[in-house]
Every structure is written in structure tokens, then in C-alpha cells.
Chains A and B, each alone.
Chain A
Amino acid sequence: MSPNTTATLGLIFLFVLMALRMPVSFAMILAGFLGNAYIISTDAAIYMLATNVWGQLSSYGLSVIPMFVLMGQFAYHSGITERLYDAAYKWVGRLPGGLAITTLLSSAGFAAICGSNSAATATMGTIALPQMRKYGYDRALSTGTVAIGGTLGVVIPPSVVLIIIAVQTEQSITPLFIACIVPGLFLTLIFISIVFWLCIQNPNLGPPGSKTEMREKLISLTGVAEAMILFLLVIGGLYAGWFTPTEAGAAGSFGALLIGLARRKLSKQGFAKAVTETIRISAMVVMLITGAVIFGKFLTVTRLPFELADWAAKLNVPREIILLVVLLIYLVGGCLMDALGFLVVTIPIFFPLSQALGFNPVWFTVVITLVTTMGAVTPPVAVNIYIVKGLSPGVPIETIFRGTLIFLIAYVICLVLLFIFPEMALFLPKFLR
């Protein structure tokens, strides 16, 4: 059997295992191990298995993951999110759809200190959904806002997805973080514009809230200040070269812990929950990367990614068309399976392809991050939608999908602009270099 046929069969085998509900990370380890055993030898495959597992578990590059997850968890359990929400409400609550806009602004604020999609959705949903229910907000608008706001957790740095892509493609994490700032803020702005437009068209969707005194508004800014300090400490420290990414995450975690203790908001139970959630998420992510490394080595031995890249580079088709096909694959894949899992599986194939086609690696990373993030709200597998459904059991899932759908326009606009003006992502990393 030719190496390319073996690689193709390996990929089919991997997708069958995943379809049978085998955890994605374990499926990649198994398929990669068996593939290596077939292509090289069983002894070599066993040796590679043990050394790769140890290599990833003890990788300094991956030690950044628990630190950033811990920062988000401490921030959540320290009540930073509530204070962000309160501040945003005092400033924009009076506008039509004020609570929905508040939700989006505080989602963006929380995203700046938390790198996870699901954590951002669950956190904001817990706070925002009861409020919007209380003020008679339309159910599709309220649930849709929470679900789409959660996706900002991945787009606005720090982001676990960006860290994973950086580790897999051996890129520096810092430029990726910086490159996502403008698209993240732009998305937030379009989300807010959509809510505003919807509520102007039909005021019943989101009635404006009560007036707030300027003094209250100014006092509420202390709630934003602590999140801003954490964000500036982490991202600023990274760019100034004070910290490695792991140190930035550790400094952010320690800062969030100190805020929680100083405010007397972090209980013993909250602390324990933050730590156990962190070890769980970290184990899941590190195993995903371990699986991707083992499966990626199998693909590398077969040379499939490189031959695919060579083949695509020689095609008499504009490279943008090939990229669109790749993005379509990511979009469909993100709909059918967990977006993070799909990303990890396909990066070893499509990243070399993008490089052979001459796309900027930072720009490509931003684009695929946006496309796969859409997978968190597109049916049938849509993690954010299910989290929102769990938080508001009375709302039919179709209503949540309907409420989220209109916000996908923002992603499409952002992607089109990124294609036309790649500098939208690349300007800031170049400027701050």
C-alpha cells in the first residue's frame, strides 16, 4: 500500500473512531499509533508513543494552558464578571436593547481575561439570562446574545485556541494574540450594532432600562478597572518582553487570585472549583495536542500534507479559491463536530497547505480561528447553544439557534474584510513589533 493510501485510510479510520464517540484525543493517539506501527515498525511506534506522551506532558510550551485557564477560572469565581456586567449596564442599559448590549460588552471584557468559548458562555449566561428574562427581553434575542457573545472568548486574546494553534504550528503566541484584538473588537461592535438595529426596528425585543446617575456610572468603572489591569498586565507584559506566555498566565492567575481575596469574593468552594475545573480543562487540551502530535507524525511520515500542499500549489486555480475550499471544510467540520477537535485534527494538513500557497501564517491563523469559532453556534454540534439551553431549559433550542443566526452576519463581514484588508489583523502586530 502506498504511503498516501495509508494516510487516507488512517484519516478515514480516525473519523470512524470519532463518529463512534471515542474521545477525539484518544482517537488521534490510537490512529497515529497504529499508522506509525504499519508504516515504520511496531517497536518504533511504541517508543514514539511513550516519548511523545512524556514530551507533551512535560512541554514548557504547553504549561501556558493551565495558567491561562486558571486565570479565567479565578476571574470568574472572584466575581469580576458580575462587576463588569454591572458597569456595562450602568453605561449602556438605557439604550434600546441595553441589557443585550451590556451582555455583549461584558462578554468582550471577560474574553479579555478568559480564553475559553464555553467558560465565557456559561459565565455570561449565568449572569445575563435571568436579568434579560426579568426585563421581558425577547427569548431569541437574549439567548442568541449570550451564545454569540461567548464566541468572543476565543477570538479576543488570551485564547486557548490561539495557544493550541501556535503550539501546533510552532508560531510565537504573542503576535497571534495581538492580531486577534482588532477583529475581536470589530466583531463586538457589529454584534452591538445588530442588537441596536433589531431593537430600534422592534422596541419590544429589548426594552430600555432605567436611568443611572453619572456618579454611579463612574463608581462602576472600578469593576472594569480590575479586568483592564489584568488584561494589560498579561498582554502588555507579553509584548514588552517582561514575561514568557507561561509567566504571563501565571501573573494573570495570581493577579485574579489577589483580586478575589482582596474583595473577599473568592470562597474556599470557589477556589476549589476553579482549580479542579482548570486541571480538567488542561488535561483535555493537553491530551488533544498530544493526539494531534502523534497523528501529525504519522501523516508526516506518509508525506501526505506536503504532497497535498505541492499538488494544490501547482493547481491552475487562484489560491484564494483553494483557501475558500479549505475554509468551507472548516465550516462544515465545525458544524459536525467539536470545533476545537476538528481544528486540532486538520491543522497538520491545512497549515502546510496555506504556507505552500504563500498565505501569511498569522493571518491564516486568525481566519481559521474565526471560521472554527462559528462552529460553536452552528447546528447540529454547537457547544455554546447547548450551554445556553442548559441555562434556560424553557427556551426551545430552535429559538436559540434563530436568535444566534443573525449574528453570524458579523462573522461573514469580518471574514470578507479580512480577505480584502489583511492588515486588519496584521497591522497591530507589525506596529507593536
Chain B
Amino acid sequence: MAFLDWFNAMLNRGLAFVASLSLIAMMLVTVGEMVSRMFGHPMAGTIETTTWLAAVTTAFALGYTQIHRGHVSIDLFVNRLGLRLRAVINMLMYLTLTALFMIVTWNLFLHAGVLRKSGSLSETMKVIVYPWVYLASLGCAGLTLALIVDFVRSCMEAFSRRNGREESKFSHKPKGDK
């Protein structure tokens, strides 16, 4: 579990770092195009570049967001249940979500393969698109890994011998930001 936790943290932190760079690049490319347009030299393909950078920014942040419990969810009902029941529900939920995002990751990977084989090019710059789809698939893989770790953790909570009186030692508390 320690290795899995470490690998999950390292991979998603690395992806988040690339997402951050991509975000800044997105801002600079957009502002750069606006400035060069003001001087009568618009840069072709800025919109395409922005969309790809936006895809990397969002996809690479998915796992990091999951680790920090950043995806909106409703605590109202489950918080009234006992810890063990909550852990069982979490276990089933994370198992389902892991399967779902495995499908998403794999099919994005296949979709990139289809684009590669068909030689699909972007409309303005006429460059290959598929590498960006592979990157999106990698971002979804980061999320899948984060979900697998959550699943393993909730299994350990559900099957631990402690009864639900206190917070289990496996209870996950995201590190870093509040």
C-alpha cells in the first residue's frame, strides 16, 4: 500500500506540475496572440493550441483533484452512517468508478490510435492531433490510479478489525491544501 500511495502521489503530482505549466502556457499564448494581433500580425492556430493546452491542463489535473477531494460530492446522507458501512459504500463506489475510468482511459487510447491511423490533421495548422489524445488518456490514467488507491484504502477500512467508533488509521486525509 505504501508503494501504491507513493506512486500515486508522485505520478499525479508530476502530472499536476505539467498541467500548471500548460495553464501558464495557455495564458501566455493567448495574450501573445492578442498583442501580435494588435500590431497587425495575428498568429495562426492559436485557438487550436489553446484547446490542446486546455485539454492537458484539465486532464493532467484530474488525479490530483481526486487526491485532494476536489470533485464536488454530497456528504449529507452518508455522513449519518457508521464508519464501516461508509467504508463498504466507498469501496463499491470506488470499484465502480475505477472500472468506469479504465473504460474511459482505454477508449481514449484507442481513439488516439484511430486518429493516428487515419492521419487526422488539425484544421488550421494541419498538424497531427493524436498525441494530445494520448496525453488526455494519460491524464485519465492518473485519475484511474487515484481511484484504485481510494478503492484499496476503503477495502482496508471496511475489513479492518476496528469497529466504527473512531476514525480508522486508513482514513485518508489529503495532504497540502485545505
Q: Which A residues fall within an 8 A CB radius of B?
A: 17-26, 29-30, 33, 46-47, 49-51, 53-54, 57-60, 62-63, 66-67, 70, 243, 246-247, 250-251, 253-254, 257, 272-273, 275-284, 286-288, 336-338, 340-341, 380-381, 390
B111: chain A residues within 8 A (beta carbon): 50-51, 54
Write out the residue numbers on chain B whose beta carbons fall within 8 Å of the beta carbon of A250: 26-27, 30-31, 34
> Known: A21-B93, A23-B71, A250-B31. Contact between A58 and B78, CB under 8 A?
no
Name 17 A/B residue pairs within 8 A (Cβ), A-sorted. A19-B76, A19-B78, A21-B73, A22-B96, A24-B74, A33-B100, A46-B103, A50-B110, A57-B54, A58-B55, A60-B50, A66-B58, A254-B31, A279-B23, A284-B71, A287-B58, A340-B72
> What CA separation (Å) do A30 and B103 show in the bound complex?
11
Q: Assuming A247-B34, A282-B61, is B74 touching A19 (CB within 8 A)? A: yes
Are A19 and B34 in touch, CB under 8 angstroms? no
Give the shortest distance, in Å, between A160 (CB) and chain B (any CB). Answer: 12
Contacts of A20 in B (CB 8 A): 77-78, 89, 93
Name which of B3-11, B132-140, B155-163, B164-172 contacts chain A.
B132-140
Q: Tell me the complex Cα distance, A425–B151, Å.
A: 48
- Chain B positions near chain A (C-beta within 8 angstroms): 16, 19-20, 23-24, 26-28, 30-31, 33-34, 47, 50-55, 57-62, 64-65, 68, 70-78, 89-90, 93, 96-97, 100, 103-104, 107-108, 110-111, 132-133, 136, 139-140, 177-178
Measured between beta carbons, the chain B residues less than 8 angstroms from A243 are 34
A-B contact count (CB 8 A): 181
Considering residues A58, A277, A282, A288, which has the most beta carbons from chain B within 10 angstroms of its beta carbon?
A58
* List of A residues within 8 angstroms of B53 by Cβ: 63
A341 near B57 (CB under 8 angstroms)? Answer: no
Q: Which residues of A contact B19 (CB under 8 A)?
A: 279, 283
Q: Which residues of A are found within 8 Å of B59, using beta-carbon distances?
A: 57
B27 touches A70 (CB 8 A): yes
Known A47-B107, A282-B57; contact A288-B72, beta-carbon cutoff 8 A: yes
Instruction: Give Cα A54–Cα B76 distance, bound, in whole angstroms.
Output: 32
- Provide the residues of chain A in CB contact with B31, threshold 8 Å: 250-251, 254
A63 proximity list for chain B (CB < 8 A): 26, 50-51, 53-54
Nearest neighbor of A23 in chain B, beta-carbon distance: B71
Q: B27 contacts which of A50, A57, A67 (Cβ < 8 Å)?
A: A67
Q: Are B23 and A277 in contact (CB under 8 A)?
A: no
Give chain A residues whose Cβ lies under 8 Å from the Cβ of B54: 57-60, 62-63, 66
- Determine the chain A residues whose CB is within 8 A of the CB of B178 once the complex forms: 390
- Taken together as a complex, chains A and B put the C-alpha atoms of A341 and B71 apart, in Å, by 10
**Complex-state Cα separation, A47 to B110, whole angstroms:** 10
Residues of chain A within 8 A of B108, CB atoms compared: 50, 53-54
Residues of B within 8 A of A22 (CB): 73, 93, 96-97
Q: How far is the CA of A390 from the CA of B72 in the complex (A)?
A: 18
For B140, the chain A residues whose CB sits under 8 A away are: 53
Question: In the complex, how many angstroms separate the beta carbon of B100 from the nearest chain A beta carbon?
Answer: 5
Q: Say whether A23 contacts B20, CB under 8 Å.
A: no
The winner among B71, B72, B96, B139 for most chain A CB atoms within 10 A is: B72
Query: Given A33-B100, A279-B16, A336-B76, do A247 and B30 touch, yes or no (CB 8 Å)?
Result: yes
Top 7 nearest A-B pairs (CB, nearest first) are A50-B107, A23-B71, A250-B30, A63-B54, A279-B61, A283-B61, A58-B55
CA–CA, A301 and B47, complex, Å? 31
Q: A338-B72, A341-B74, A381-B74 are in contact. List 8 more A-B contacts (CB 8 A).
A: A20-B89, A23-B72, A24-B73, A50-B107, A250-B27, A283-B58, A336-B74, A337-B76
Q: A50-B111, A243-B34 are in contact. Are A18 and B74 (CB under 8 A)?
A: yes
> B62 and A70: CB pair below 8 A?
no
CA distance in complex: A349, B47 (Å) = 31
A284 to B57: give the CA distance in the assembly, Å. 12
Q: Which of A53, A66, A284 contacts B26 (CB 8 A)?
A: A66
| Min CB gap B154→A, angstroms | 11
A397 to chain B, nearest CB (A): 14
Q: Which residues of B contact A46 (CB under 8 A)?
A: 103, 107
Q: Among B24, B65, B75, B77, which residue has its beta carbon within 8 angstroms of that of A283?
A: B65
Instruction: Give B74's nearest chain A residue, CB to CB.
Output: A337
Chain B hits for A29, CB < 8 A: 100, 104
